[in-house]
Structure 1
Amino acid sequence: MGLDLRAGREAGRLGSDPWPSWSYTGFSLFRSRLAHHIGIDLPSMNGFGGEGDWASVQSPLRHLLDHPDDRGTLSVDQAAELAPALEEVLAEISERLGPGDDVRWDYDVRTGTDLVALLRLCVEEGVPVEFG
């Protein structure tokens, strides 16, 4: 059991849709690495045990970081804002690592790239991204 993200359309998932999927533990590690990269101490933030205010976070990654793991949606506007920022951070972190340096991150980059593709698909179709 884990987290699957999909396009929130009535027709459901199409065979050609990207379908990023993590275990909950894996997604937690992925978000922690993203947060660290942009200078956020995730445990200090509201929803992660701290009292940090997400309204003070300027990065579009906040849409992914400040979100329940197992439910809810990202709006089309949030997806449009998040896609290029996530793509950039994935590239920056990957640049620092050599091939095989971090097997976990290799998976996250592939899955994160699928998430970027899903975000763009949802923007193009005007549908939300669903967490489930």
Structure 2
Amino acid sequence: MPDDPWPQWSYAGFNLFRRKLAAHIGIDLDQMRGYGGEGDWATVDSPLRHLLDHADNDGKLSPQQAVELAPALEQALFALARDFDYGHTYNYDMRAGRELVELLAICASENVPVLFR
């Protein structure tokens, strides 16, 4: 893995990470639009919806979405840290998750969108 300061996941890894976040806020992603279900994201009251209802590798989050998402993601990572096992996946997800929080904060403060590639 390259030593890149920005968050990186494989597609499968990012999917699993988002599933953990969704489960943390009581959402079964398989029931939601975009994951095979018909659930409406507008009914989700968590800022984590900005990350969960988003393409893996395309599009962007607005600076306002980054403002909302950063603290919610940071809190979720803290809560999930108690639940993860301490294996490779935990370390990888936590590191990349913290990097994503940092990126969200930078984009919010600079008033620029977060790009997904």
Q: TM-score range by the shorter chain?
A: over 0.9
Post-superposition shift, 1:72?
Answer: 0.3
RMSD: 1.3
Please state if 1:63 is matched with 2:63.
no
User: 1 or 2 for the larger relative contact order (CA 8 Å, sep ≥6)?
Assistant: 1
Post-superposition shift, 1:97?
Answer: 4.0
Please state if 1:51 is matched with 2:38.
yes
TM-score by structure 2 length?
0.93
Post-superposition shift, 1:54?
Answer: 0.3
Check whether the contact 1:18–1:117 (CA below 8 A) recurs between aligned residues: no
Where in structure 2 are the equivalents of 1:1-132 lying within 5 Å? 18-97=5-84, 100=86, 102-132=87-117
- Identity among equivalent positions (%) equals 59
Provide structure 2 residue ranges, at least 5 long, that are not aligned to the other structure. none
Aligned length: 114
Q: Secondary structure at the match of 1:96?
A: coil
Post-superposition shift, 1:121?
Answer: 0.3
- The 2-side partners of 1:117 and 1:67 are apart by 19
- The 2-side partners of 1:96 and 1:54 are apart by 25
Post-superposition shift, 1:27?
Answer: 0.2
Provide structure 1 residue ranges, at least 5 long, that are not aligned to the other structure. 1-16
Q: Secondary structure at the match of 1:34?
A: helix
Whichever structure has more strand as a proportion of its residues is: 1
Whichever structure has more helix as a proportion of its residues is: 2
